[in-house]
Structure 1
Amino acid sequence: MGAAPAETTGVVIIGSGFGGIAAAVKLLRSGVSDFVILEQSEGIGGTWWDNRYPGCEVDIPSHAYSFSFMPHDWPRTHAGQPELQRYAEATVDRFGLRGHIRLGTRVEAVRWQESEGHYRVETGSGTLHARFVISAVGLLNVPRYPEWPGLEEFAGESFHTARWDHSVELEGKRVAVVGTGSTAVQVVPAIADRVAHLYVHQREPGWVEPKGERAFSAAERERFRRRPLYRRLYRYALFAQSMGRFRAYDAGSRAQRRMRELCLGYLDRAIRDPETRRALTPEYPWGCKRPIYASSYYPAFNEPHVELVPHPVRSVTPKGVVDVLGEEREVDVLILSTGFQPTRFLSAFTVTGTGGRDLQEYWGDRPRAFLGVTVPEFPNFFILYGPNTNGGFSIIAQLERQAEMAARAIRAARRKEARVETEPAALERYVRWLDRQFGKRASAMEAGCNNYYHTPSGANVTQWPRTHLAYYVLTKTLARRGLTLRRR
């Protein structure tokens, strides 16, 4: 028997997280309904499907970390993973997307076919032909596993937070959590009361400020439900506050000093032991690393069985973890909160453009895309959560802007029987502008701490350097100058 014939569709969306959902809704609102959403997992939600560790919760206010087109009765100021998963499911059902989604379908390659004017999308279960492809695979989706000597020989249980093993019992165990970033600060207090002893291995402290999470009162929720204008104004106010905070990324500003004082004051109030306070105090400007919002992380260190180890890990033995000073601590469970590989954009599958050009080869050491969305030599291909789009307060809002940009271009190209191409000069101008923004006013993002923003050459390839309002304006205006519709 021969191979099954390739299926043909108008648009392939890769990923059913919030980016893929946004792309689908914006396409529908542009009059485009012939699309397929390919999802490698067995459920929708993207990062909120993959990450199910104890304490998993968003650190952006719920009313901002949500779609502008899909209001929700949020029970808390900051939604937990189960609520965000329900929200994703509700959005899919509200817009009738279930019939477009194919779960358990892993994309292996996306190849431009010049003579046919479409992409060949190869998956583990078959091939599709699509005139347009939108990648919405996310940024923080490939776990980073450390290369410590002896890790494979550890005799206890070991897993990454993004692949949490709920079959492992933590009660009464000696547990080591390696990492002190935004995930670890949620895991530590969530498991502290279940374990016999908890070691928290810290390579470098982060700036932590209280998140202020709480449940909305019944009266507040009723007001949000019954008064749409009030709900929208509340959402706008959250974005306005974030714009004020953005000034603190200027390493020499008064706002920077205020953020530093806020975090140090919280540290002084929350931690009783002076040695632990000193070890938790950063030596770099606020904003050099991703800011951490946590109200229960610091108090966990006041418990006698929770111990901060302010040294990186050197190696692992069958019985425990050895720090760089050579001290071994025996543990039963090793939890890796060691982050992701955010600078390796679209590395999970092959993308080839005109002339068989490989996307990773085109990028080399510096992933770059016009407004983070399109790349020269890769016609009709769009990236959501692409290079230099992380930040701007709410990534959901950023994703909406990117989805709108893609939907507008696809609609115009279909109407004119053309293909969407990116002007190389426009991309180069945009990258130079990004570099100027990062260098302007001594941005704290470039202060030299250990963060996930930069490639080995030092280029910041993950972060958006301005507010969401600036990104909103540019995607509405600049996109027209950088994208060209060429007749097929």
Structure 2
Amino acid sequence: MTATAPDATPAKNGREPIRVAIIGAGLGGIAAAVKLRRSTSAQVVIFEQSAGVGGTWYDNRYPGCEVDVHSHAYSFSFLKYDWPRTHATQPELLAYAEHVVDRFGLRPLLRLNTRVTELAWEESTSTYRLSTERGDSEEFDVVISALGLLNVPRYPEWPGLDTFVGPCFHTSRWEEHDLTGKTVAVVGTGSTAVQIVPAIAPAARQVYVFQREPGWIEPKNEREFTARERSWYRRVPFAQRLNRARIFHQGNRRFKGYDVGSRRQRRMREVCERFIAATIDDPATRAAVTPHYPWGCKRPVLSSTFYPTLNRHDVELVPHAVRQVTPTGVIDATGTRRDIDVLILSTGFQPTKFLSSLDVKGRDGRSIHDVWRERASAFLGITVPGFPNFFMLYGPNTNGGVSVIAQLERQAEVVVRSVRRLERTRRRLVDTSPAATRRFLAWIDRRMVTHASAMNAGCHNYYHDPAGHNVTQWPAGHLAYALATRLLTRFGLRTSR
């Protein structure tokens, strides 16, 4: 039986309310549900494969886990919230997700522990047949995928990995082990690893940090808000909004650094180089963590504690990739073996494999994965021609733009406007113009060359698919995306019977 909002009302045109399925109860799915409830008469069901809401902040529970975007930007624009810190920790973000769900009455809409496996478009009824892992099946008029981007772990294929006798796990599937007195290998130096290493170093006997390729790291400058600041943001009208606007303005200026020939690019490199010089004692380590590619080729990392942790006598940076694993140790690319007790894989995710856990079939039974065989693409990163009434949040080429939460809100607003168009008319579906999609994709590719050239500078990053297409990143600031989602949908999305 379909769960509905307690206050769902009939659509204004006298038809039955539009039934909307949201797949995923992370911050994207929550944003979509809130906006649909506030602006439409749709009946909404939220499917979530985990036992709770929060998405990535439910799944990732490793020591030191926190966001690297300012709290006032990494939160919804429609709700003021009393953040205790400049950068929220994982427990605080999980509590925030729970708060929003309760504040807007979304809990009755949730179906937890329910993984959606397939969507199939039914032309005769203009609906999707949604199937779950349990074997349940029901129909919805509109489906929103809010599965996220960084949710499918990347497991390395090192020889001998399956022979390791100690605890071995990916950071997104964290296992609680007492690391006191243990020798621990952390493989990777991305955003997750730089949070874990400082958190576990005080307990472990020895920590080896394996770095395949260095990344540019900036000081995060995180701190607790003072009591006076918290009172100011709580009580003064628009105080949070003004600070949020300031953060977004700075972020839009920062994007100019992705042009390898810009002054902003040189400035960002200088900031990172000064940070290295000021915080790392050993000259060899300073050289090892300094990249030889432009700032922004990899996703820039923010951390105030990682570099100082490398000064500890019980933490060793190994500036080489892992080549092989033995039952009791790790062998790096130089052939050096180090014996360890625990192996922690901070080896990232598979962001270019969009909707990897979901089989979506559109018109004529075509699978979206067949359509994406050469390249994953979507109009505004949200819709795909031939898949009517199907919307994605955090789809191809939408990562970036200061804060992903703001990007998700803009995408959710596109869905809301589409649902409202269906409610106001007697039309039954929204589909996407192939021509508009091609023009949008061509614009993306041009911008990658002219304004985001650092992303294509040849380092190892998660932006590109196996064919070399940058399929994850948005090549501009958030303001450009907000304008695009507001102005271009009238040309790219069309309703019909």
| TM-score, with length taken from structure 1 | 0.97
Contact 1:252/1:441 (CA < 8 Å) preserved in 2? no
Residue identity in the other structure for 2:240: R
Structure 2 residue ranges without an equivalent (≥5): 5-16
Q: What is the number of equivalent residue pairs in this alignment?
A: 483
Within 5 Å, which residues of 2 pair with 1:108-187? Answer: 108-125=117-134, 126-166=136-176, 168-187=177-196
1:223 equivalent in alignment to 2:232: yes
Instruction: Show the counterpart of 2:104.
Output: 95
Contact 1:365/1:456 (CA < 8 Å) preserved in 2? no
Residue 61 of structure 1, aligned match among 62, 70, 74: 70
Residue identity in the other structure for 1:468: H
Q: Cα distance, 1:349 vs. partner? A: 1.4
Residue identity in the other structure for 2:491: R
Residue 241 of structure 2, aligned match among 212, 225, 232: 232
Contact 2:276/2:286 (CA < 8 Å) preserved in 1? yes
Contact 2:40/2:419 (CA < 8 Å) preserved in 1? no
Instruction: Show the counterpart of 1:384.
Output: 393
1:479 equivalent in alignment to 2:489: yes
SS at match of 1:433: helix
Instruction: Show the counterpart of 2:261.
Output: 252
Residue 199 of structure 2, aligned match among 182, 190, 200: 190
Q: Cα distance, 1:230 vs. partner? A: 1.7
Within 5 Å, which residues of 2 pair with 1:5-20? Answer: 10-20=19-29
Residue identity in the other structure for 2:183: R
1:35 equivalent in alignment to 2:20: no
Residue identity in the other structure for 1:459: H
31-40 or 96-105, which moves further after superposition?
Answer: 31-40
Cα distance per residue 1:356-409 (max 9 Å; x no partner): 000000011311000000000000000000000000010000000000001110
1-structure distance, mates of 2:109, 2:476: 35
Residue 405 of structure 1, aligned match among 409, 414, 435: 414
Residue 85 of structure 2, aligned match among 66, 69, 76: 76
The runs of 4+ residues in structure 1 deviating greater than 2 Å are: 4-9
Residue identity in the other structure for 1:123: T
1-structure distance, mates of 2:464, 2:374: 10
Identity %, equivalent residues: 60
1:276 equivalent in alignment to 2:285: yes
Within 5 Å, which residues of 2 pair with 1:352-371? Answer: 352-371=361-380
Instruction: Show the counterpart of 2:436.
Output: 426
1:349 equivalent in alignment to 2:344: no
1:211 equivalent in alignment to 2:217: no
Cα distance per residue 1:176-208 (max 9 Å; x no partner): 000000000000001010100000000000000
Residue 480 of structure 2, aligned match among 470, 474, 478: 470
Contact 2:18/2:423 (CA < 8 Å) preserved in 1? no
SS at match of 1:282: coil
Q: Cα distance, 1:94 vs. partner? A: 0.6
2-structure distance, mates of 1:6, 1:183: 37
Instruction: Show the counterpart of 2:10.
Output: none
2-structure distance, mates of 1:442, 1:391: 12
1-structure distance, mates of 2:146, 2:368: 16
Contact 1:9/1:128 (CA < 8 Å) preserved in 2? no
SS at match of 2:22: strand
Q: Cα distance, 1:410 vs. partner? A: 1.3
Q: Cα distance, 1:65 vs. partner? A: 0.3
2-structure distance, mates of 1:289, 1:184: 15
Contact 1:180/1:201 (CA < 8 Å) preserved in 2? yes
**C-alpha spacing 1:485/1:326, structure 2 compared with 1 (3 Å):** same
1:21 equivalent in alignment to 2:21: no
2-structure distance, mates of 1:79, 1:181: 18
SS at match of 1:228: coil
2-structure distance, mates of 1:258, 1:189: 27
Contact 2:20/2:45 (CA < 8 Å) preserved in 1? yes
